Amino acid sequence: MKAKLSINIGKLKLKNPVMAASGTFGYAEEFSGFMDLKKLGAVVSKTITLRPRQGNPPPRTCETPAGMLNSIGLENPGLDAFINCKLPVLVKTGVPVIVSIASESGWPEFVELAGCLDKLKEVAAIEINISCPNIRSTKHKAQSVKLISQDPKATYEVVKAVRRATAKTLITKLSPNVTDITEMAMAAERAGSDAVSLINTVTGMSVDVATRQPKIACVTGGLSGPAIRPIAVRMVWEVYRKIKIPIIGMGGIMDTASALEFFMAGASAISIGTANFINPRAAAEIITGLERFLIKNKIKDIRQLIGSVKSEN
Amino acid sequence: MKEKVFQESIKIIAKENLGADYFKLSLSSPKISHSAKPGQFVELRVSDANIPLLRRPLGVHRVEGNTFEVLCEIVGKGTELLSKKEPGDFLDVIGPLGNGFDCDLPSAARQLPILVAGGMGVAPLIFLAEKLAERKTKNSKFKIKVLIGAKTKSHILCEKEFKKLGCKVKIATDDGSRGFRGKATDLLKKELSTVSCQLATVYTCGPQAMLKAVAKLSGAHNLPAQVSLEAHMSCGFGACLGCVVDTKDGYKRVCKEGPVFWADDIIWG
């Protein structure tokens, strides 16, 4: 028996539903020595902005119980250098390349980025990152600015504008730092997003008690890793019951069992993030593990698992 | 050329407690041992559980045939767990990682290596001293100077090993219980004031404050200095962009472009 792992996200056909999450896979070349990159369903680039960004000052990361905080600050070479230097490297993986984009200046920059990427056949899909917690206003260093994905109206407007700029598959990445994530997911769906990615990192903070200094230079950062997995699974489950477009689930997936939780809660695909840092073969191992699980349980198609959690409500 | 990096389950073949909170593990891996260069490091997974989550980076201390050693100080939960591993246990290891020391002595005229180690900083420098010592020939004789700084006499590491290699070793301790009372940088200051040091190259590893002082002193004497930096790392192989240091060319990853940098490229905050 063979199990079917392929899945469609908008126009994008993936041979399996496992991707490398944005910002955790470098530009893929860092991982070529550890695994056969061709095994991946897709790879999502580090988020790109129009202009180069040097990112936030160090220290940028610290370890927390079952997780880590980061405040990288979207360090990236900017759109032009990305297209010339990094995209060809990503394309060499032989799997669909999803390009993550963010704006430093409101929605017109999103439109410009999407418009440029729309012309490139190497770009399989676009993920709009409206949920990075680590871009700060320059005036108040320690104070996060309000994220687009914390406001359903702003989410709708940005997605709608980007939708007009590209015919490519559009994925909207949502923040967990909200009261009700389903509002944002529904806004993205209404505006024409082909899928939603959730969750981005959970805002957090950690203090070195010996020095009374925050452990990362920007004071607060994004928490990732197994510590946030129950939050992510809960949010996937909530969103699944409110929208029709596919959900790409992520947040602390370390192994096959944790990947399965997301499918059962309602995800059509998953992204591996922090696990890549600890086990650079994690994504490949999870793909094999999912296939084994399906065969062992005589499930013909992974789509049968989506939303299959036995919950009463 | 693309350097090869390996991820392997590696057997601990020996463990040695070195007093204070120091210990040494010998790990069996032909692949890592044969490709490691001085100043490179490995990332060890100390537990299969999610706490601690991240790997621990440790410098390659010595290489002998198919085995390599790491030197470690117990500083937190991760290193404490590592200290409880015993010979026969296996560790998930990634390595060798990073850019090590440039071991090519620039020219015949620049053949006075001075190695400055603070505390655990001796770890990669013994491997470096071995490589530098290999370059001694009949026509090119030079003496490697090693300046070791430690908290007390019981915190002095590798003195014998350096001496065995024919290095000239000087010791400084914070409490004066051995050698000079003061810092390794005090020893360096004295050393650099002598005429014979005008053609020295400085190699250093240790606490950040010491590295900064070494960089300043070397710069003041117009001597090239290579510094091995330490940083919090999440991955260790260039993916997370977490461990950057500010340089004249902007932020660089300590794990990938480093951990060894030329001192005058670093912007010492």
- The bridge status of strand A213-214 relative to strand A207-208 is antiparallel
Task: Note the pLDDT tens digit of each residue in A19-34.
Answer: 999 999 988 999 999 9
What total of structural domains would you count in chain A?
1
Angstrom CA distances, A168 to A93, A193, A212, B178, stand at 20, 10, 48, 70
Q: A-side interface with B, Cβ within 8 Å?
A: 23-26, 30-31, 33-34, 46, 54-55, 57-63, 65-68, 70, 72, 75, 225-227, 254, 274, 276-281
Question: Is the pLDDT at A212 greater than 80, yes or no?
Answer: yes
Mean pLDDT of B212-232: 94
Quick one: closest CA in A to B239, which residue? A26
Q: Which band of pLDDT confidence, cut at 50, 70 and 90, is reported for residue B1?
A: very low
pLDDT at A143: 52
What CATH code is carried by the domain that includes residue B116?
3.40.50.80
pLDDT at A124: 97
pLDDT at A137: 44
Angstrom CA distances, A46 to A98, A168, B7, B127, stand at 10, 18, 24, 36
Share the mean pLDDT of chain A: 94
Angstrom CA distances, A202 to A70, B17, B236, stand at 10, 41, 23
Partners of B118 in beta bridges: B149
Instruction: Give the ipTM.
Output: 0.92
pLDDT at B56: 96
Domain boundary among B97, B119, B145: B97
Establish if B243 touches chain A: CB-CB under 8 angstroms. yes
Please indicate, yes or no, if residue B1 is contained in any of the structural domains: no
Lowest mean pLDDT across A41-45, A56-60, A99-103, B140-144: B140-144
Cβ-Cβ contacts under 8 Å between A and B: the total is: 98
Q: How far apart are CA A44 and CA A270, in angstroms?
A: 11
Domain that includes residue B152, residue range:
108-265
Q: How far apart are CA B146 and CA B117, in angstroms?
A: 8
Question: Is the pLDDT at A196 greater than 60, yes or no?
Answer: yes
> Is residue B213 classed as helix, strand or coil in its secondary structure?
helix
Question: Is the pLDDT at A263 greater than 80, yes or no?
Answer: yes
Please indicate, yes or no, if residue B103 is contained in any of the structural domains: no
Q: Which band of pLDDT confidence, cut at 50, 70 and 90, is reported for residue B269?
A: confident
Domain boundary among B97, B123, B148: B97
What total of structural domains would you count in chain B?
2
pLDDT at B108: 53
Q: How far apart are CA A228 and CA A156, in angstroms?
A: 26
pLDDT at A294: 97
B251/A70 touch (CB, cutoff 8 Å), yes or no: no
pTM summary value: 0.94
A31/B239 touch (CB, cutoff 8 Å), yes or no: yes
Percent of chain B having pLDDT more than 90? Answer: 83
Q: How far apart are CA B88 and CA B12, in angstroms?
A: 5
Q: How far apart are CA A205 and CA A142, in angstroms?
A: 11
pLDDT at B105: 62
Please indicate, yes or no, if residue B158 is contained in any of the structural domains: yes
Domain that includes residue A266, residue range:
7-56+72-202+224-305
Whether residue B124 sits in one domain with residue B79: no
Domain boundary among B47, B68, B97: B97
What CATH code is carried by the domain that includes residue A125?
3.20.20.70
CB atoms within 10 A of CB A100: 23
Establish if B231 touches chain A: CB-CB under 8 angstroms. yes
Angstrom CA distances, A109 to A101, A119, A173, stand at 9, 16, 17
Angstrom CA distances, A274 to A225, A281, A283, B68, B251, stand at 6, 12, 11, 28, 22
Task: Note the pLDDT tens digit of each residue in B120-139.
Answer: 999 999 999 999 888 776 55
Cis peptide bond upstream of A246, omega within 30: no
Q: Are B264 and B214 in contact (CB under 8 A)?
A: no
B50/A75 touch (CB, cutoff 8 Å), yes or no: no
Q: Considering CB atoms only, which of A63, A277, A279 is closest to B239?
A: A277
Q: How far apart are CA A285 and CA A250, in angstroms?
A: 16
Mean pLDDT of A38-43: 97
Q: How many CA atoms lie within 13 A of A93 on its CB side?
A: 35
pLDDT at A222: 96
Please indicate, yes or no, if residue A213 is contained in any of the structural domains: no
Would residue A132 show up in a list of annotated catalytic residues for this protein? yes
**Residue A309, both tokens:** 């959690």
Please indicate, yes or no, if residue A209 is contained in any of the structural domains: no
Mean pLDDT of A37-52: 96
CB atoms within 10 A of CB B90: 13
| Residue that is written with structure tokens 């100390």 in the block | B46
Using an 8 Å CB-CB cutoff, list chain B residues near A25: 239
pLDDT at A136: 60
Q: Which band of pLDDT confidence, cut at 50, 70 and 90, is reported for residue B81?
A: very high
